[in-house]
């Protein structure tokens, strides 16, 4: 709605209500609930229904008669999507919608830093508000169940506690700007292959312990104003209108008072859309990728079919009033909020935030003393690999962005060493694609040299080099880090493993930088001198990587997922587990979560399977010494069961002193894992239950203090639908990763 139309509509609304004074819903001094209560009875049934479904690709109707504006959504979660046409996915061709591209969420999770998450949320929320968006479609917190997951780069790793701790400040930061964070994709949406036709068969214990906690934290601690349903089914019911997930758990047990938004095309049935907990329907009657005729919006499940059901008595208005109330609440929290927010766009502060976050998430996996880089004036640095020059902001699906600029690693290294010779060789040809959905990087990645010549030229270039860096990994092409497809394996594509092995045989000290948003195998890790895990870092990705490589920033990132030695080592062993099977008589593919709670490091540590680099691993250019772990109590009386909304109070504090014993200032993530006593119910041998990031000057000692609520010790019992704390002796494990435990303590639970 254009500003003039909004003004006229407001004048009309005020004039229409002069007999009763100023309407409460227009009075910003009133509470949101008072405004909702006042506005709801003023709406006709037709107006309420019109608010529940889309009117364009990214907007739903307001109520012009009453001056209630439309709701505008935008894709995230890494930046504000360029404008698309009203009724078509094609870019609108605006010249002023180039956003700040922030790092992928897997990079944010790798910071293990809640302050960075808050900075991320505030910054992207300011960009969304400046662009007059009411709902940011992100962040994503689905668990990295398999390293093949194509959309893992948009999520926050394999651990529910880490994802839950990182999503809360993100949500709060976004919503400080009067923009709703729409946390997605709810729930058990852990693969892209057949994502719209797969039924996730997950037992309730696994659901509550692994796949729901991050969403629960976003709602109960973060106060999220919106949730997006996922494409898949859970236990036979589509998740965009899954009564058990949306009505019983989300709105019932968790008390969610916001809106449930369908994924685009995720609503599948008229009656279920009405009663199954969905509030706003988007993208139906399309496959989510192509256009649809304008009149299709009237045929949405929550459009004319809804009105017809009310008219002939097949549906009442109780659900409609609830949907309309939630949508009004969303509007009064965002575009009609009592506090005006204006936002900012492409500001120097946002680019600096993107750079800081990307650097903080960069993980130093291995270092045999070759980092940080030191290239003398007149020296030679050789950079090999396509990802040194390939821009990654464009592509990947709905997270595709148009950014004002994107600094590549090669550009940043040339800038960092202006008086040295910085030579680049491609080494291999990966993806020559430079555009996605009418957004183009402006690069020319064409190549005429054959593979053998590319490698020979790279080897020749290393002669006389002071340092050699291979920068490769994945990109956002199909079957890599990409919405809509999963990876086919975790080996590096384009023959990169063989290239790295060859280079390691001729280069004295090879540094490898892997750019990806999801786990890859590194069979060459013991043959190179340094390994760095980089990410899709957004507009400032090159600067952030160079900051770490040169030591301008001391690396402090930690892996948010396990890097296994091979795909076969993981917990998914059968086709029925992944990608699912189609059983006789079943309409949908069935995907059985037979591994239960043994996901990621829970599997590897419990089965004693060696990995390449463990969950939580990350080195520094300094060293940290841990003191003994100390618990505030030696005995607890918290055994037994408690309900799903209980057990949040702190029952134990664990502390440990950490000393920076090196010569550089740095930061260390102190991680706390719990090992349960032996019992009748099989449990992982360790689970993350706390962490704190300490920033310490050289020689400084700091204290990490982590609080454990009763819920930290609990497992979910599906039969009683309660959390249960087992009695016995528990072991507290404090360390630098899931496998690098520095100190332990015991606590007895009666």
DSSP 8-state secondary structure symbol assigned to residue 613: B
Inter-CA distances, 430 with 387, 473, 494, Å? 9, 10, 6
Which strands make up the sheet holding 59-60, listed edge to edge? 59-60, 71-75, 135-137, 180-186, 226-229, 259-261
Spatial distance between the Cα atoms of 67 and 25, rounded to a whole number of angstroms:
10
What DSSP string runs through 450-482?
Answer: -HHHHHHHHHHHTTT-SEEEEEEE--SSTTSS-
Start-to-end Cα distance in the chain: 62
Spatial distance between the Cα atoms of 66 and 280, rounded to a whole number of angstroms:
20
Count each helix (H run) and each strand (E run) in the chain, helices first: 17, 30
Spatial distance between the Cα atoms of 51 and 66, rounded to a whole number of angstroms:
13
DSSP 8-state secondary structure symbol assigned to residue 87: T
Q: Are strands 687-696 and 635-636 parallel, antiparallel or unpaired?
A: unpaired
Quote the distance between the C-alpha of residue 712 and its chain's center.
23
Task: Using the structure block, give the residue that is written with the tokens 């960009």.
Answer: 127
Largest CA distance in the chain: 87
What DSSP string runs through 88-125?
Answer: SSSB---SS--BPPPPPHHHHHHH--HHHHHHHHHHHH
Residues across the chain = 750
Spatial distance between the Cα atoms of 547 and 358, rounded to a whole number of angstroms:
10
DSSP 8-state secondary structure symbol assigned to residue 569: G
The phi and psi torsions of 592 (rounded to 5 degrees) equal -95, 125
Task: Note whether 748 and 728 are within 8 A (CB).
Answer: yes
Inter-CA distances, 700 with 460, 655, 661, 663, 737, Å? 46, 17, 8, 10, 21
Helices (H), 343-408: 348-361
Spatial distance between the Cα atoms of 656 and 675, rounded to a whole number of angstroms:
18
Inter-CA distances, 108 with 121, 204, 221, 539, Å? 11, 29, 19, 14
Is 717 marked active-site? Answer: no
DSSP 8-state secondary structure symbol assigned to residue 539: G
Torsion angle (degrees, nearest 10) of CA 232, 237, 240, 242: -140
Quote the distance between the C-alpha of residue 677 and its chain's center.
33
- Catalytic residue among 38, 134, 263, 726, which? 263
The number of beta carbons lying within 10 Å of the beta carbon of residue 625 is 13
Closest by Cα among 732, 714, 730, 719 to 640:
714
- The kind and range of the H/E element at 666 are strand 666-675
What contacts 665, CB < 8 A, 6 or more positions away? 554, 622, 695, 696, 697, 698
* Residues carrying an active site annotation: 263
């Amino acid at each position: 709605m254009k500003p003039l139309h909004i003004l006229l509509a407001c004048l009309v609304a005020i004039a229409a209500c002069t007999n009763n004074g100023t309407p409460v819903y227009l009075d910003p001094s009133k509470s949101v609930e008072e405004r909702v209560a006042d506005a709801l009875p003023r709406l006709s049934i037709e107006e309420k229904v019109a608010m529940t479904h889309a009117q364009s690709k990214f907007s739903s109707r307001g109520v012009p008669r009453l001056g209630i504006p439309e709701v505008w959504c935008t894709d995230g979660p890494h930046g504000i999507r360029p404008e698309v046409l009203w009724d078509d996915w094609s870019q609108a061709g605006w010249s002023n919608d180039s956003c700040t591209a922030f790092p992928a969420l897997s990079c944010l999770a790798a910071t293990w830093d809640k302050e960075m998450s808050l900075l991320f949320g505030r910054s992207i929320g300011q960009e969304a508000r400046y662009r007059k968006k009411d709902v940011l479609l992100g962040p994503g917190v689905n668990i990295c169940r398999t390293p093949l997951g194509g959309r893992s780069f948009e999520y926050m790793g394999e651990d529910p506690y880490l994802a839950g701790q990182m999503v809360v400040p993100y949500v709060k930061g976004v919503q400080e700007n009067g923009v709703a964070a729409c946390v997605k994709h709810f729930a058990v949406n852990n693969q892209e292959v057949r994502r719209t036709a797969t039924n996730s068969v997950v037992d309730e214990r696994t659901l509550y312990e692994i796949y729901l906690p991050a969403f629960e934290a976003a709602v109960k601690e973060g106060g999220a104003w919106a949730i997006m349903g996922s494409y898949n089914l859970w236990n036979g019911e589509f998740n965009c209108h899954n009564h058990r997930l949306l009505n019983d758990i989300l709105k019932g047990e968790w008390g969610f008072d916001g809106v449930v938004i369908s994924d685009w095309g995720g609503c599948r049935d008229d009656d279920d859309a009405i009663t199954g907990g969905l509030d706003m329907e988007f993208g139906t009657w399309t496959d989510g990728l192509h256009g649809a005729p304008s009149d299709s919006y009237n045929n949405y499940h929550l459009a004319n079919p809804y009105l017809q059901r009310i008219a002939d008595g097949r549906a009442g208005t109780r659900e409609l009033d609830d949907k309309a109330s939630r949508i009004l609440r969303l509007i009064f929290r965002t575009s009609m909020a009592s506090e005006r927010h204006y936002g900012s766009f492409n500001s120097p502060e946002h680019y600096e935030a993107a750079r800081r976050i990307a650097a903080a998430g960069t993980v130093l996996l291995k270092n045999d003393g070759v980092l940080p880089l030191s290239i003398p004036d007149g020296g030679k640095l050789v950079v090999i690999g396509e990802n040194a020059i390939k821009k990654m902001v464009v592509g990947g699906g709905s997270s595709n962005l148009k950014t004002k600029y994107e600094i590549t690693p090669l550009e940043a290294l040339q800038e960092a060493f202006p008086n040295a010779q910085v030579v680049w060789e491609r080494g291999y040809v990966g993806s020559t694609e430079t555009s996605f959905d009418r957004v183009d990087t402006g690069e020319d990645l064409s190549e005429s040299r054959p593979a053998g010549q590319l490698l020979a030229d790279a080897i020749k270039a290393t002669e006389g080099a002071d340092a050699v860096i291979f920068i490769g990994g994945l990109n956002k092409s199909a079957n890599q880090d990409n919405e809509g497809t999963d990876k086919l394996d975790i080996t590096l594509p384009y023959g990169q493993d063989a290239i790295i092995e060859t280079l390691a045989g001729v280069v004295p000290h090879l540094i490898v930088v892997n750019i990806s948003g999801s786990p890859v195998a590194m069979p060459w890790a013991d043959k190179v001198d340094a390994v760095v895990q980089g990410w899709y870092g957004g507009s400032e990705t090159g600067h952030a990587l160079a900051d770490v490589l040169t030591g301008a920033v001391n690396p402090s990132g930690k892996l948010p997922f396990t890097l296994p030695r091979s795909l076969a080592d993981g917990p998914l062993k059968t086709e029925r587990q992944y990608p699912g099977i189609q059983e006789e008589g079943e309409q949908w593919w069935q995907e059985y979560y037979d591994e239960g709670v043994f996901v990621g490091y829970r599997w590897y540590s419990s089965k004693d399977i060696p990995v390449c680099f463990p969950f939580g691993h990350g080195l520094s250019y300094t060293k940290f010494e841990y003191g003994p772990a100390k618990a505030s109590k030696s005995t607890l009386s918290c055994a037994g069961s408690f309900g799903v909304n209980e057990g949040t109070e702190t029952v134990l504090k664990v502390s440990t002193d950490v000393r920076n014993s090196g010569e550089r200032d740095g930061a260390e993530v102190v991680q706390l894992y719990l090992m349960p006593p032996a019992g009748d119910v099989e449990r992982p041998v360790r689970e993350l239950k706390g962490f704190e990031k300490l920033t310490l000057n050289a020689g400084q000692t700091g204290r990490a203090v982590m609080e454990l609520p009763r819920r930290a010790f609990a497992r979910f019992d599906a039969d009683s639908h309660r959390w249960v704390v087992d009695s016995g002796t528990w072991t507290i494990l404090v360390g630098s990763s899931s496998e690098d435990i520095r100190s332990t303590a015991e606590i007895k639970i009666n």
